[in-house]
Amino acid sequence: MVRSSQQIHPSRTPAPLLPAATVLLLRDTPAGLEVLMTRRSDTASFAPGAYVFPGGRIDDNDVEARPIAARRRTQSRLQLTQSIAAIRECFEELGILLARHTDDGRMVSGAEVAAMDRGNPPAMPLAAQCAVKGLRLAADEIYTFAHWITDRDLPKRFDVPFLVARMPDNQVAVADEAEQFEPCWVRPTDALERHAKKRFFMIFPTVRTLEKLAAFDTVDAVIAACGREQPLWTSCPRGGLLGGKEMRYMEHESPFGELALVCPDGQMLHALDWQAEEPVRLLKNVMRLTAPNPSAMTGPGTNTYIVGDAATGYLVIDPGPNHFDHIGRLWRITQGDIRAIICTHSHADHSPGALPLQALCKKQRPPILGLPSASSARATARFTPDRALANQERITLSAQELPADGVPAPTHTLRVIHTPGHAANHLCLLLEEDGLLFSGDHILNGSTTVIDPPDGNMTAYLQSLDLLDETCVAHAVEFILPAHGYVLGQARGAIARLKAHRLKREAKIAAAMRQQPDGTSDDWLPIAYDDVPSRMWPVAARSLQAHVERIRSLAQT
């Protein structure tokens, strides 16, 4: 767990969550699947002027209406209440009622609905009106599609399922002209295109829901996908600044983990722009300076991490390439008070900056630490540290003097974890006090690392992933700080997905080898990497060879 004393932004409590429900009314047309949307009032307290799906707050009447609502055997009581709320909101906002006659099961007609009281509030609650007319709410025909929790930075927040239901054939939407206006049927792709052209304003959850909905061709397909009674996804997005504009991200998107680390309570303050001129402060004791070496292999560039503070001095992790400006910036950021330079491994974008950075530190010569390159390393990846680190060794920063206020400065301890696989001399570093894992190239954000034999070894790589997972459990690690890309959150989940991806790729390679038993790597590559752009195949060929060696080794055991 990250120490609260190291957080950059003061803690705050996000606005409380209000229970709500919304529903996507769907219909099949010759042009494809359509969904009913409506425009919110320009004076609404939440999402004014946005095109939305009908819905709103859950109230006590929705709970009390359970006895007159039809329920699937697998539908929970909570889902039943949410469905009732969605039915009521559809009725109040758009004059659409999902209800059937109890005597013969007929869906209520549009004329019958028009004769009912839609007042705000009505003289008689909807459930009571249905009871008088012998109607049963068709809650059993409503399914959970997604679950959204409003972003932590917003002043009004909802915990809301996005439900789906088939539009009754004999009813027409009529807006209440108070909360909702301009009901319209639209194909998801059309709505998204119009939104992109700024002609159809929608908020983030609506956009992402339509993106998912666009993958379905029919109403039946949507409902079938919801048959497990679980949302297809659950998300509480996080926001950051990109190009000076507010942007929002879901849990699976690359900036999400960094936003969770820097702004855990949802403060809309963190800039996500990649730049190499100034350090990005992640915590009070952790900064990132990205080297100006972006490429297909390095992403936005190599991340150099600076751990420590003015009282303790600094540790520099992965000084990067020997780039004059980058090395100078590292020296200025630390004011030359560097206690050690640590290289996670000896590749050309990680360790060459160590010697020139060390040379700049005139007052005290910080040792260059790491593991020496193995004989299997390429000529461009040879590296000899001043001192070789031992597995599980701890490197501690602490203040030499007591501050004037008498309060001891925090210590910062890095634990060394030998993680061969990407390179024989690769290591990761655990910042123990804050549960942060500096993963070097072993775990990246946005791509998978290359395993290049003979210095790279796939079996060792997968075993190191298991070791890192154990480390996450033992030290409550929540965040991974990679050498390329943003901070990763949900550390164990990230490791599990990476291992699953590697094993899935290995299965494809093994299948290609069985398909062409007399083939070579050149024959297997286009089969096993058919989902990867061909321009990346020369790089993928290295990892393919590592998988082939592992497959053959396993076959011999």
Read off the pLDDT of residues 541-551 as tens digits, 9 standing for 90 and up.
999 999 999 99
In the predicted structure, residue 510 carries a pLDDT above the cut 80: yes
Q: Are 11 and 265 in contact (CB under 8 A)?
A: yes
In the predicted structure, residue 18 carries a pLDDT above the cut 70: yes
Q: Are residues 443 and 542 in the same domain?
A: no
Q: Are residues 279 and 375 in the same domain?
A: yes
In the predicted structure, residue 42 carries a pLDDT above the cut 80: yes
Q: Are residues 326 and 366 in the same domain?
A: yes
Q: Are residues 206 and 326 in the same domain?
A: no
Tell me the residue range of the domain where 361 lies: 274-492
| Span of 74-78, 92-96, 152-156, 175-179 with lowest mean pLDDT | 175-179
In the predicted structure, residue 505 carries a pLDDT above the cut 70: yes
Is residue 525 helix, strand or coil?
Answer: helix
In-domain check, residue 246: no
In-domain check, residue 46: yes
How many domains, the chain? 3
Give the C-alpha separation, 163 to 76, whole Å.
14
* pLDDT (tens digit per residue) in 171-184: 999 988 878 888 99
Q: Are residues 61 and 207 in the same domain?
A: yes
* pLDDT (tens digit per residue) in 209-230: 999 999 999 999 999 999 999 9
> Could you say which of 209, 236, 263 is where a domain stops?
236
Give the C-alpha separation, 523 to 543, whole Å.
15
> Could you say which of 492, 526, 545 is where a domain stops?
492
What CATH number does the domain containing 396 carry?
A: 3.60.15.10
> Could you say which of 184, 210, 236 is where a domain stops?
236
The H-assigned helical ranges of 173-218 are 188-196, 204-213
Is residue 292 helix, strand or coil?
Answer: coil
Q: Are residues 131 and 215 in the same domain?
A: yes
* pLDDT (tens digit per residue) in 268-321: 999 999 999 999 999 999 999 999 999 988 999 999 999 999 999 999 999 999
**pLDDT attached to residue 404:** 63
CA-wise closest residue to 205 among 250, 155, 243, 272: 250
Q: Are residues 206 and 347 in the same domain?
A: no
In-domain check, residue 196: yes
Q: Are 178 and 41 in contact (CB under 8 A)?
A: yes
Give the C-alpha separation, 92 to 126, whole Å.
9
The H-assigned helical ranges of 256-393 are 256-262, 324-334, 354-360
Q: What is the mean pLDDT of residues 465-480?
A: 98
In-domain check, residue 72: yes
**pLDDT attached to residue 122:** 82
What pTM was computed for the model? 0.93
In-domain check, residue 243: no
Q: Are residues 431 and 519 in the same domain?
A: no
pLDDT band at 261 (very low <50, low <70, confident <90, very high): very high
In-domain check, residue 412: yes
Give the C-alpha separation, 233 to 402, whole Å.
50
In-domain check, residue 258: no
Q: Are residues 537 and 478 in the same domain?
A: no
Q: Are residues 483 and 510 in the same domain?
A: no
